[in-house]
Structure 1
Amino acid sequence: MKRIALFLATNLAILVVFSIVINILMAVFGIDYGSTQGLLLFAAVFGFGGAFISLAMSKWMAKRATGAQVIQQPRNDTERWLFNTVARQAQQVGLTMPELAIYNSPEPNAFATGPSRNNSLIAVSTGLLQSMTRDEVEAVLAHEMSHVANGDMVTLTLIQGVVNTFVIFLARLIAGAVNNVLRGNQENSRGQGGFVYFGLVVLFEIMFGFLASIIVMYFSRQREYRADAGAAKLVGANKMIAALQRLGQGRIRNDESALEGSLAAFGIRAGKKSASELLLTHPPLEKRIMALQQGRF
C-alpha cells in the first residue's frame, strides 16, 4: 500500500496547492466567487493545466526519476537486439521510433511515457533483462509499445484533467453552500468566508480527490488489458502470458515496485496487492493471464 498511498497523497497535495493558487489569482483578477461559470473556468484551467504540464515534462521527469540512460548508439548485442526489436514493433504499429532507455534496478519492470504517440520513451530495467528470456522481453516491449500506440498517456491525462476539474469545482461549490448555512446566509461565503470556507475546501478536496483516484485507477486497469491484448497481437499471446507469469515469480521475490506515481501506472507490473482492487493501477496478474488465455484480444 505504500506506493498507492504515496501516489494518492501526491495528487491530493497538488490539489491543495492549486487551491491556494486559485484563491490568490481569483482575488487578484477580481473574479467573482459567486459566479459558477467563473469558478468552473478556473477549475478547468488548473485541472487540465497541471495534468498537461506533467504530460509535457513526462519524458524528462521519467529519466530523472529512474536515472534511465537512452540508447543513442547500441554498444553491445543486448542493446542492438532491444533497439532492433523496438524499431520493428514501432514500424508494425505505424509509429515513429520511441526513445529507448535502460535504467538500473533489480526489479523486473518497464514503462512507457511521453507527450504523444510519436514523441515517447520506452524504458526497461536491468532486472527485467537479467530475469527474462528474449521472447518474454519482446512481449514486455510490445506491451509498452501498445500503450504508446493506444495513446494511453494522453487519454489518462485527459481523464485526470476532467476529474481534477470537478474535484476543484465541486469542493468549492459545496464548501460555499455549507459555509452559507453555518453563517446563516449573512454574506457571500465563497467570497468572504475566510478560514472556515478555506478549511472546508481542503476537506472536500481530500474527500473528492480520493474518490476521483478510484475513477482514474479503474481506467488505468482497463488500459492494461488493452496493452496486453495489443502485445498478444504483435508477438503472440503465449509470449505475453509467459512474460506475465515470469513477473508473478518476480513479485514473490520483490513485491514493492520502485516506480512511483504516473510511472507506476505505466509500468508492466505494479507493487503488492491492495486490500481492494479499486486502488490498483494494474489488474492482478492472474486476471490478466486469464484474459489472454480466454482470447479476449
Structure 2
Amino acid sequence: MGTAKTFILLAMLTALFMAIGYLVGGMLGMTVAFVVAAGMNAFSYWNADKIVLKMQGARELTPETMTPMLRTFANDVASLAERAGLPTPKVYIIETPQPNAFATGRDPSHAAVAATTGLLGMLTREEVSGVMAHELAHVGNRDTLTMTITATIAGAIGMLANFALFFGRDRNGLIGSLAIMIIAPIAAGLVQMAISRSREYVADARGAEICGNPLWLASALEKIERGARASVNVQAERNPAMAHMYISNPLSGRGADNLFSTHPTTASRVAALRRMAGDQMSASTDDATPARRAAGPWG
C-alpha cells in the first residue's frame, strides 16, 4: 500500500475518532479523542506486534517448548523468509481449533507471524507453507503496520461508540447516542475493508511465488474456510476489529464477500491462484522449484 493511501486511511480513522469524541463531549471530548488517537498511533507503531499477539492469546515458540512438529514448522518459516529475502520473524502459536494465521509488526526487522493449532492440525505441510508465505508477503509488502494500527484505532472507536450511550445522553439524546453506536463501527469497518481486500490478492500472488506453488495456498484457503465455519475463534470474536489481519475472516457468519466483509471471497482468491498455476504450467512443465522438492506432508 502506498504511503499516501496509508496516511489517508489512518487520518480517516483518527478524524472519525475525534468526531465521536465531539458528539460525546463537545470540544473537550474532541480534544481528548485527538490526544488519545495520537498516543495510540505512536504506541501502536512501537508495540504493534505485542498488542495484537497478546490480544489474540499467542505464545512465542522457543527451543524449550517446541515439539518436533513445531520445530519443523518454525524451520519452514525461516526457510520461506530466507527465500523471500526477509529477516526471520518471531513465530507464535494460538491455541484454537479454527485454522487461521496472521502477521504483525512495524517492519520486516520487527515482524512476527502466528498460526493457530487448528491450522497445523488440519493442513498439510505444503498448505501451511503456502499460508505462511502469504503472511511473509504481507511483511515484505509492509502491510502489517497499517493493518495493526488500523485494528487498534478501530477497536477503540467501537469502545468509544459504546460509551456514547451512557455518557452522551444529555448532549445528543438517546437517538443520537444510538446512531453513534451503530454508525461508528460500520465506518471503521469500511476503512478496514478498504485496507485489506486489495492487499489480500497481492499477498496471495507474492505468497505463491515465495512457496513455489500457487495450488498449495489455494488448497489451504479452501480448507481454512471450511474450518472457520466449523469452529469459533474465541479470541478473534472478542476483538473483531482485528479480523482483517487474518488470512481468512475468523468471525463466524461472515463468509460472504459483501459490504462488511474484511476479505475477498475464498472462491475469487482460489480462482486467481489457479489461473496463476495454469500460467506457470504453460510457461514451463519441467522446471521444479526448490520449494516443490523441499516440502512434504507433516510426519
TM bracket (short chain): 0.5 to 0.7
What residue is the counterpart of 1:85 in the other structure? 76
Select the residue among 257, 260, 264 that pairs with 1:283.
Answer: 264
Instruction: Provide the rounded CA distance (Å) in 1 between the counterparts of 2:17 and 2:47.
Output: 19
Matched pairs, number: 246
TM-score by length of 2: 0.67
Q: Which runs of 5+ in 1 are unaligned?
A: 1-10, 28-32, 34-38, 165-193
Select the residue among 202, 210, 223 that pairs with 1:234.
Answer: 210
TM-score by length of 1: 0.67
Q: Secondary structure at the match of 1:268?
A: coil
Instruction: Provide the rounded CA distance (Å) in 2 between the counterparts of 1:48 and 1:278.
Output: 29
- 1:85 CA displacement: 1.4
- 1:157 CA displacement: 5.6
User: Does 2:272 correspond to 1:295?
Assistant: no
What residue is the counterpart of 1:53 in the other structure? 43
Q: Secondary structure at the match of 1:279?
A: coil
Select the residue among 80, 91, 105 that pairs with 1:114.
Answer: 105
Compared CA separation, residues 289 and 275, structure 1 to 2 (3 A) = closer
- 1:70 CA displacement: 0.9
What residue is the counterpart of 1:213 in the other structure? 189
Q: Secondary structure at the match of 2:276?
A: coil
Select the residue among 52, 60, 65 that pairs with 1:70.
Answer: 60
Q: Secondary structure at the match of 2:114?
A: strand
What aligned pairs does 1:92-131 form with structure 2 within 5 A after superposition? 92-131=83-122
Which amino acid in structure 1 is aligned with residue 201 of structure 2?
Answer: Y
**Segment of structure 1 superposing worse, 50-59 or 286-295:** 50-59
What residue is the counterpart of 1:266 in the other structure? 245
Instruction: Provide the rounded CA distance (Å) in 2 between the counterparts of 1:266 and 1:146.
Output: 13
- 1:160 CA displacement: 7.6
- 1:288 CA displacement: 0.9
Compared CA separation, residues 288 and 58, structure 1 to 2 (3 A) = same
- 1:279 CA displacement: 0.9
- 1:138 CA displacement: 0.8
What residue is the counterpart of 2:223 in the other structure? 246
Compared CA separation, residues 51 and 119, structure 1 to 2 (3 A) = same
User: Does 2:198 correspond to 1:225?
Assistant: no
- 1:148 CA displacement: 1.1
CA contact (8 A) 1:52 1:157 kept: no
Compared CA separation, residues 229 and 262, structure 1 to 2 (3 A) = farther
Which amino acid in structure 2 is aligned with residue 240 of structure 1?
Answer: L
Q: Secondary structure at the match of 1:112?
A: strand
CA contact (8 A) 1:47 1:163 kept: no
**Segment of structure 1 superposing worse, 283-292 or 260-269:** 260-269
Compared CA separation, residues 277 and 100, structure 1 to 2 (3 A) = same
Instruction: Provide the rounded CA distance (Å) in 2 between the counterparts of 1:73 and 1:60.
Output: 20
What residue is the counterpart of 2:287 in the other structure? none
Deviations 1:34-83 (CA, angstroms, capped at 9, x unpaired): xxxxx8x9876554543443453332233333332211216332122122
Q: Which runs of 5+ in 2 are unaligned?
A: 1-12, 156-168, 280-299
Instruction: Provide the rounded CA distance (Å) in 1 between the counterparts of 2:233 and 2:61.
Output: 24
Deviations 1:233-271 (CA, angstroms, capped at 9, x unpaired): 1112011111112213323423x4432335421112213
Select the residue among 124, 129, 144 that pairs with 1:133.
Answer: 124
Which amino acid in structure 2 is aligned with residue 140 of structure 1?
Answer: V
Indicate the RMSD between aligned Cα atoms, in angstroms: 4.0
